[in-house]
A and B are shown apart, each in its own frame.
Chain A
Amino acid sequence: MKIMEIKNLHAKIGEKEILKGIDLDMFEGKVHAIMGPNGAGKSTLSKTIVGHPDVEVTEGDIIYKGKSIINMEPEERALEGIFMSFQHPVEIPGVNNAYFLRTALNAKRKHQGLKPLNAAEFLKLLKAKIKELGMKEEMIHRSLNEGFSGGEKKLNEILQMEILEPDFVILDEIDSGLDIDALKKVSEAINNMRDGKRTFMIITHYRKILDYIEPDFVHVLKNGKVLKTGGIEIVDALEKEGYKIFGDA
């Protein structure tokens, strides 16, 4: 079943048109890998889906769970289950990690008509998730992403994903800046979240992460358009020949 349909999507940042007619269907419970050379529009596509204010949609639509989301605020999209793991998670000194996460979780619970978790209930949940991910418990008390190493920041994104339990997850270059052990850890956590219902959209330059998280579909983006959709064989072809084999959009 389709969870997201992207139809003839055109979008610009400032005066520059970056997405030039994207057509892409994504399916419930599947892993979609988005690959493409630098400047292809991969990150702009993810920013457009989550409603980043820098992006202006000029044509086309994004249908998520049967509804158009292009006029929704970023927080409304998040509450509907769209989550993005940022390529460069921002540091916010003074915002306590646990406080931030509880606020985010309780916003979602309120949206779902559930009772908010109190501090003790939330702490119990947070500690369990931290243990599962092999993170240090001290991060509970630290400021959001402040002073975190590259690996810790990415793991913190995964922690947020596990707490918020989204339906549609965008992983924007989750593999960048990770050493092999951290990449394995992050991939394992993502695989544990694959439950047959949750959809993943993995944006990557490299094959490595796809060795750990096997995609159901691979889409190649170039010059703001989807050039090719297929399976893992596309990645093999890219490894040998590079993006030129798919020509230009």
Chain B
Amino acid sequence: MKLLDINFEEFKEQKALLQKLKSMGMPTPKTEHYRYFGIKPIFDKEYTLSLPKTQRPEEADYIEIVDGSVVKAPKSFYIELQKNIKIDDSHYDQVYYLNHLLSERVIHIECEEDMEFKILHKHTLSNALVPYRIKLSIAPKKKVKVVEEHLVLAQDSLYFYGYDIDIKDGASLQLVQNRVSNLSDFALIAPHSIRCEKQSRFELFTFDFGTAKTLHNYHILLQEEANVDANHVIFASDEARIGNTLHIENRGKESKTTQLSRNILKDKARGIFDGLLIVKNPAKYSSIYQDSKTILLNDGAYMISKPQMEIYTEYITEATHGSTTGHIDEEALFYLRQRGIEESLAKEMIVISFLNEIFEKLGDKEIKEEFIKLYEEQQ
């Protein structure tokens, strides 16, 4: 099947979703958040639709999802496959609705205690279209950390997945998305919806390393005194197209958004950072901060950086945004070389220092070491 040939009549029972998708239309190269991603060849391909199977998960100390099916999970976790969940009715990405339409049942993980766990996604099916979704509910005042990893073995495939996250009053979630993919004909589109209730906190760390075509589209809503700290690292090479687009809406008063994006691009890779921060009228005394910086390691690499703000209130505490793209600072490189440090190591020191702000904020040595290893392998 081709995505553009989907017979929507088959989904007529899901009226609301269908109506939403029809009103937005399928994404095209002119759709703003897909403009630089190269959506057409991905949507034009023939795939075999593979829907996740229901099975009883084996016991493990982490959650493993293979091609959309939960195959391993801790015994103590409350995980169910849920139909007709409440969806985000104002997501900017039509693939969010398409993904829901194709994913009849959603993996629902309920977090009612303070907890920390890992989700491993395995993408193994070639020439396949695999849709699935995860719903994550964080109970009031609970503190949760989720580390997500992806193992990509599929070729010529398109995976749709994404989170619907509800962070209740006073709760906090740290979501670390560590996404490595070195298969250039693998594509992943992931529309996420995150709702942050009163006084909640959402920390997002995304690390995209590799050569694949992946796009994550986040719609984040902040209620009163809620706080989001979103951090993105992209290290893309070859002909990768890797991007993060975000619409973050400060809806409640004294809500706060901080966003950092650090990108290293090599060969003919393209990076996309398209972040729109919106402060609605009721969100008085809110603050928004956005900063995107990119190092291009050679001339063929290309960065699309679009930091944007829309502010609908006169009473704002802070609104700052900026974006820079350039090559490695030659004077810094020379300074290190003049102290006897060989050029390749000097470059590595500068590149790592460029990402250090995010690595240090997360405080996870393993991810930093993994990046250094990947960087060294690329040299």
The answer for the CA separation of A164 and B338 in the assembled complex, in Å, is 11
Contact A164 B339 (CB under 8 A): yes
Q: What per-residue 1/0 map shows which CB atoms of B304-345 lie under 8 Å from chain A? A: 000000000000000000000000011110111111111101
B60 within 8 A of A: no
Can you name 7 A-B residue pairings with CB atoms under 8 Å?
A84-B338, A92-B335, A93-B356, A93-B357, A94-B357, A95-B349, A107-B341
Residues in B whose Cβ lies below 8 Å from that of A18: none
Residues in B whose Cβ lies below 8 Å from that of A90: 329, 331-332, 335
Q: Which of A61-69, A74-82, A206-214, A241-249 contacts B (4 or more CB under 8 A)?
A: A74-82
B83 CB, nearest partner CB in chain A, Å: 48
B295 CB, nearest partner CB in chain A, Å: 12
The answer for the CA separation of A79 and B341 in the assembled complex, in Å, is 9
Contact A104 B334 (CB under 8 A): no
Q: Interface residues of A toward B: which range?
A: 20 to 34
Residues in A whose Cβ lies below 8 Å from that of B345: 103
* Choice from B340, B343, B350, B357 contacting A104 with Cβ under 8 Å: B340
Q: A53-B330, A90-B331, A94-B354 are in contact. Are A100 and B337 (CB under 8 A)?
A: no
Residues in A whose Cβ lies below 8 Å from that of B350: 92, 95
Residues in B whose Cβ lies below 8 Å from that of A228: none
Q: Which residues of A29-57 are within 8 A (CB) of B? A: 50, 52-53
Q: A92-B350, A94-B354, A103-B349 are in contact. Are A73 and B340 (CB under 8 A)?
A: no
B240 CB, nearest partner CB in chain A, Å: 24
B28 within 8 A of A: no
A160 within 8 A of B: yes
B66 CB, nearest partner CB in chain A, Å: 38
A89 within 8 A of B: yes
Q: Which residues of B335-379 are within 8 A (CB) of A? A: 335-343, 345-346, 349-350, 352-357
Task: Identify the A interface with B (CB < 8 A).
Answer: 50, 52-53, 73-75, 78-79, 83-84, 86, 89-90, 92-95, 100, 103-104, 107-108, 111, 143, 160, 164
B22 CB, nearest partner CB in chain A, Å: 48
Q: DSSP majority for the B interface?
A: helix
The answer for the CA separation of A159 and B137 in the assembled complex, in Å, is 54
Residues in A whose Cβ lies below 8 Å from that of B356: 93-94
The answer for the CA separation of A94 and B337 in the assembled complex, in Å, is 17
The answer for the CA separation of A74 and B346 in the assembled complex, in Å, is 12
* Choice from B335, B343, B354 contacting A89 with Cβ under 8 Å: B335
The answer for the CA separation of A131 and B335 in the assembled complex, in Å, is 25
Contact A93 B335 (CB under 8 A): no
Residues in A whose Cβ lies below 8 Å from that of B331: 90
Q: A90-B331, A100-B349, A103-B349 are in contact. Are A78 and B354 (CB under 8 A)?
A: no
The answer for the CA separation of A90 and B350 in the assembled complex, in Å, is 12
Interface-centre pick from B330, B338, B343, B346 (highest chain A CB count, 10 A): B338
The answer for the CA separation of A103 and B345 in the assembled complex, in Å, is 10
Task: Identify the B interface with A (CB < 8 A).
Answer: 329-332, 334-343, 345-346, 349-350, 352-357
Contact A104 B354 (CB under 8 A): no
Interface-centre pick from A50, A95, A100 (highest chain B CB count, 10 A): A95
B348 CB, nearest partner CB in chain A, Å: 10
B294 CB, nearest partner CB in chain A, Å: 15
Contact A104 B329 (CB under 8 A): no
Residues in A whose Cβ lies below 8 Å from that of B334: 52-53, 74
The answer for the CA separation of A71 and B155 in the assembled complex, in Å, is 48
Residues in B whose Cβ lies below 8 Å from that of A93: 353, 356-357
Residues in A whose Cβ lies below 8 Å from that of B335: 86, 89-90, 92
The answer for the CA separation of A111 and B341 in the assembled complex, in Å, is 11
B163 CB, nearest partner CB in chain A, Å: 30
The answer for the CA separation of A105 and B335 in the assembled complex, in Å, is 14
Residues in B whose Cβ lies below 8 Å from that of A164: 339-340
Q: A53-B330, A90-B329, A90-B332 are in contact. Are A73 and B337 (CB under 8 A)?
A: yes
A172 CB, nearest partner CB in chain B, Å: 11
Q: A53-B330, A90-B332, A94-B357 are in contact. Are A104 and B337 (CB under 8 A)?
A: no
Contact B338 A92 (CB under 8 A): no
List the A residue with the shortest CB-CB distance to B330. A53
B12 CB, nearest partner CB in chain A, Å: 55
Contact A75 B340 (CB under 8 A): yes
Interface-centre pick from B329, B330, B340, B357 (highest chain A CB count, 10 A): B340
Contact A94 B338 (CB under 8 A): no
Residues in B whose Cβ lies below 8 Å from that of A160: 339
List the B residue with the shortest CB-CB distance to A160. B339
The answer for the CA separation of A100 and B350 in the assembled complex, in Å, is 11
Contact B343 A92 (CB under 8 A): no
Contact A94 B341 (CB under 8 A): no
Residues in B whose Cβ lies below 8 Å from that of A94: 352-357
Interface-centre pick from A50, A100, A111 (highest chain B CB count, 10 A): A100
The answer for the CA separation of A226 and B164 in the assembled complex, in Å, is 73
The answer for the CA separation of A7 and B331 in the assembled complex, in Å, is 27
The answer for the CA separation of A160 and B343 in the assembled complex, in Å, is 19
* Choice from A73, A104, A111 contacting B339 with Cβ under 8 Å: A104
Interface-centre pick from B339, B350, B353 (highest chain A CB count, 10 A): B339
The answer for the CA separation of A103 and B352 in the assembled complex, in Å, is 14
Residues in A whose Cβ lies below 8 Å from that of B340: 75, 78-79, 104, 107-108, 111, 164
Residues in A whose Cβ lies below 8 Å from that of B357: 93-94
The answer for the CA separation of A73 and B337 in the assembled complex, in Å, is 9
List the B residue with the shortest CB-CB distance to A77. B338
The answer for the CA separation of A200 and B357 in the assembled complex, in Å, is 38
Q: A53-B330, A95-B349 are in contact. List 16 more A-B contacts (CB 8 A).
A: A50-B338, A52-B334, A73-B343, A75-B342, A75-B346, A86-B335, A90-B335, A92-B335, A92-B336, A92-B350, A93-B353, A94-B356, A95-B336, A100-B336, A103-B341, A107-B339
